A = this chain, B = another copy of it.
Amino acid sequence: MTDFNQSCPIPIADYPHILLAHGGGGRLMNQLIERMFRKAFDNPELNHCHDGACLDLPAQRIALTTDSYVVHPLFFPGGDIGSMAVYGTVNDLAMCGALPLYLTAGFIIEEGLPMETLWRVVQSMSHAAREAGVSVVTGDTKVVNHGKGDGLFINTAGVGVLKPGIEIGPRQIREGDAILLNGDIGSHGIAIMARREGLEFETALESDLANLSGLVQELMESHLPIHCMRDLTRGGLASALNEIASTADLTIEIHENQIPVKAAVRGACGLLGLDPLYVANEGRFIIILPEEDAEPCLSILQAHPLGAQAVRIGSVRKKGTAPVELVTPFGLHRILDLLSGEQLPRIC
């Protein structure tokens, strides 16, 4: 595990802030890469052939994914842009049923970013990568002029390997399938908004940001016939269900009173005029699988710290009037649509 108190390997007295030259291909960029990035992400593959990493995979079937992270602020209760850039991409690989192995890291830094801030983020990425069992094997550093960025954006792409026969995705879901959720929703988006808007709540709210790969590997090893998994990031539960149901050309029905939402999240959503069903999460996902496999799957989820509060929230039906229907606590059916506007900018 990375020691978070390690002092910054670039002398802060000489370079308190990132300069344009740190992205210019010369001596300062070389120092930044050699002293900071190579030190933090140390592994045998890192840039061995320099314009890229050469990797021997244990299989020929892979999952490939990418996400850019533009979260504001860079540090928030429960995480930061660095841990998010690792876990978010690792989770996307896990949702394909893959074992995450390798990440790339692309930094777009605004001129003037404190060097210490970059170092804190890089240490956090390094720690998260170790925790998730992945290696950052190649990267890129760009610096944009002051006022042409926002501190730091990070892109990660991920490669994971897939066992033969694994087919997980929206097109695999079937009428009658059960839908499970690994815990309460909305904490990530609300923790970010609260920090950004300077809101204080009685109960401290933390992001649910987590590495889901360990839990997903347990599910994969159970050989349960999982049809689809999806982490509930931007757009939250409602958007994920809409995308899956639309792709599958089926309808998903969920029950509002079965969806766990913390009281503090519910309260904050009321204050901010947000619907927790659309708020982003970074450690929550749904699993869609045959009805008869729902109970064994719930047992596996509930035995894991990241699924202790796992619940069944609904099922897949034949195509109805809308992709997603919400059954309210009063038994009314309401269409749960995609949002037209912007709910929460820059939460990931």
Q: Give me the interface of A with B, judged by CB distance under 8 Å.
A: 19-21, 23-30, 48-70, 72, 91-93, 95-96, 98, 102, 104-108, 137-140, 142-145, 147-150, 153, 155, 157-160, 162, 167-171, 230-231, 233-236, 239, 243-244, 247, 278, 280, 337-346, 348
Q: Which B residues touch A170, using CB under 8 A?
A: 49-50
Residue of B nearest to A25 (CB): B235
- Please tell me if the beta carbons of B66 and A96 are within 8 angstroms of each other in the complex: no
- Please tell me if the beta carbons of B68 and A155 are within 8 angstroms of each other in the complex: yes
- Please tell me if the beta carbons of A70 and B26 are within 8 angstroms of each other in the complex: no
Cross-interface CB contact of A51 among B230, B280, B346, cutoff 8 Å: B230
- Please tell me if the beta carbons of B49 and A169 are within 8 angstroms of each other in the complex: yes
Would you call the interface of chain A mostly helix, strand, loop, or mixed? mixed
Q: Which B residues touch A138, using CB under 8 A?
A: 64-66
Q: How far is the CA of A29 from the CA of B340 in the complex (A)?
A: 9
The 6 closest A-B pairs by CB, nearest first: A25-B235, A52-B65, A25-B234, A157-B157, A26-B339, A66-B104
Q: How far is the CA of A25 from the CA of B341 in the complex (A)?
A: 9
Q: How far is the CA of A60 from the CA of B148 in the complex (A)?
A: 40
- Please tell me if the beta carbons of A51 and B92 are within 8 angstroms of each other in the complex: yes
Selected A-B contacts with CB under 8 Å, 5 pairs: A26-B341, A50-B247, A65-B104, A66-B104, A147-B147
- Please tell me if the beta carbons of A23 and B96 are within 8 angstroms of each other in the complex: no
Of listed A49, A137, A341, residue having the most chain B CB within 10 A: A49
- Please tell me if the beta carbons of B70 and A63 are within 8 angstroms of each other in the complex: no
Q: Which B residues touch A72, using CB under 8 A?
A: 148
- Please tell me if the beta carbons of A341 and B21 are within 8 angstroms of each other in the complex: yes
Q: How far is the CA of A27 from the CA of B58 in the complex (A)?
A: 39
Cross-interface CB contact of A345 among B23, B56, B159, cutoff 8 Å: B23
Residue of B nearest to A24 (CB): B342
Residue of B nearest to A246 (CB): B30
- Please tell me if the beta carbons of A243 and B30 are within 8 angstroms of each other in the complex: yes
Residue of B nearest to A161 (CB): B60
Cross-interface CB contact of A149 among B51, B67, B149, cutoff 8 Å: B149
Q: Which B residues touch A159, using CB under 8 A?
A: 62, 64, 159
Q: Which B residues touch A104, using CB under 8 A?
A: 64-66, 157
Residue of B nearest to A280 (CB): B25
Q: Which B residues touch A53, using CB under 8 A?
A: 63-65
Q: Which B residues touch A243, using CB under 8 A?
A: 30, 50
Closest chain-B Cβ to A96's Cβ sits at a distance in Å of 5
Task: Using A95-B51, A96-B52, A234-B25 as known contacts, say yes or no to A60 and B59 having CB atoms under 8 A apart.
Answer: yes
Task: Using A49-B168, A153-B108 as known contacts, say yes or no to A343 and B54 having CB atoms under 8 A apart.
Answer: no
Q: Which B residues touch A29, using CB under 8 A?
A: 234-235
- Please tell me if the beta carbons of B26 and A343 are within 8 angstroms of each other in the complex: yes
Q: How far is the CA of A51 from the CA of B214 in the complex (A)?
A: 17
Q: Which B residues touch A51, using CB under 8 A?
A: 65, 91-93, 95-96, 230-231
Task: Using A61-B57, A106-B66, A137-B64 as known contacts, say yes or no to A27 and B338 having CB atoms under 8 A apart.
Answer: yes
Q: How far is the CA of A56 from the CA of B149 in the complex (A)?
A: 37
Task: Using A26-B341, A51-B231, A104-B66 as known contacts, say yes or no to A60 and B58 having CB atoms under 8 A apart.
Answer: yes
